[in-house]
Amino acid sequence: MNKMTRLLFGAVLMSSAMVAAAADVAGNVALVSDYRFRGVSQNNGGFSPAIQGGFDWSSDLGFYVGTWASNVNFNQEGAIETDVYGGYKGKINDDYAYDVGILYYGYPQDGSEHYAYTEYYTSLSAFGAKVGVNYSPNYFWGSDPFWYWYANYSYEVIKNLTVNAHWGYNHWETRQDYDPTQSNNSAGPVGNASYADWSLGVSTAYLGLTWGLSYVDTNINQNSCSGNLCDATAVLSISKSL
């Protein structure tokens, strides 16, 4: 974690500590048939289940910190992803809300691969929709400056049945041959790169759990993607808020 990230996280923690008496702690746990991150499998593709979960601490003033983890599979290394984040949420009015913060993706078992990176993010939400952007000065596996623009939308079509839609645009500033599933992406920058990812799914609550089923896909050239990590797939999720 770089110096600026540590300072910002420290500021969030200090601000949060001042309002500890007016705070909430929430947890979550999930089982998914595949961990898809921005359209790409973080395990083996196809049916490769992941167990995920985390905790969030939030104050009434809008400051929050949290952590989240999942099993992953990166060339027999980086078997665990552990994220730490913090930021501030607020409302412009009754309809519009915003969120700004920092997110650190950690891989304690990555050996000499150095997968870890930091992103800065901001988003705006209104009427079931959310648009946002994440920026990393040095993205996953040392793949240089990266931007992620996205839009999400959720709508309860009937009672206890919600449709969830997502679209994202992944853009590297300096390389055009980046393959998010390969380990040789640290070769010199050679121009621009980008790809889109999207998903469409439904979710419902039953037996105290939230059940979800989503179709996930990207426009990554299948010839440049290892195995079936980028193939279109259906992802089943079972989650519980604690």
Q: Closest by alpha carbon to 164, among 213, 230, 217, 218?
A: 213
Residue 228 has pLDDT above 90, yes or no: no
- Predicted confidence (pLDDT) at residue 178 exceeds the cutoff of 80: no
Residues 204, 161 contacting (CB under 8 angstroms): yes
Range of weakest confidence among 2-11, 42-51, 90-99, 155-164:
2-11
Domain that holds residue 233: 3-241
3-state secondary structure of 213: strand
Q: Which pLDDT score, from 0 to 100, does residue 74 have? A: 82
Sign of CA dihedral 238, 225, 102, 13: positive
Instruction: Residue 137: name the closest of 174, 181, 180 by CA.
Output: 174
Q: How far apart are CA 13 and CA 193, in angstroms?
A: 36
- Round to whole Å and give the CA distance between 74 and 202: 29
pLDDT over 80 (residue 196): yes
What pLDDT sits at residue 221?
82
Q: pTM score, two decimals?
A: 0.85
Arithmetic mean of pLDDT over the chain: 86
Provide the pLDDT for residue 186.
36
Question: Tens digits of per-residue pLDDT, 92-109?
Answer: 999 999 999 999 999 988
Share above pLDDT 70 across residues of the chain, in percent, rounded to a whole number:
82
Query: What is the predicted pLDDT for the residue at 222?
Result: 74
49 pLDDT above the threshold of 70: yes
Q: Which of 76-80, 163-167, 187-191, 216-220 has the lowest mean pLDDT?
A: 187-191
State mean pLDDT over 53-62: 96
Helices (H), the chain: 3-17
**Average pLDDT of 46-62?**
96
31, 54, 26, 27: which is closest to 212 by C-alpha?
31
pLDDT value at position 15? 52
Distance between CA atoms of 17 and 9, rounded to whole angstroms? 12
User: Rounded to an integer, what is the distance from CA 221 to the centroid of its chain?
Assistant: 22
Q: How many residues does the chain have?
A: 242
Determine the Cα angle at 3 with ends 106 and 28, to 5°: 35
Structure tokens of 142?
């040392």
φ and ψ at residue 12, rounded to 5 degrees: -65, -45
CA angle 195, 198, 202 (to 5 degrees): 170
pLDDT digits (tens, 9 = 90+) for 63-95: 999 999 999 998 666 689 999 999 999 999 999
Q: From CA 224, how far away is CA 201, in angstroms rounded?
A: 27
> Quick check: 168 and 39 in contact, CB under 8 A?
yes
Overall domain count for the chain? 1
pLDDT value at position 81?
95
Q: Which range (91-100, 217-226, 228-237) has the least confidence? A: 217-226
CATH number, position 104: 2.40.160.40
CB contact at 8 A, 224 and 207? no
Phi-psi region for residue 127, left (φ > 0), alpha (ψ -120 to 50) or beta? left
Identity of the residue numbered 158: I
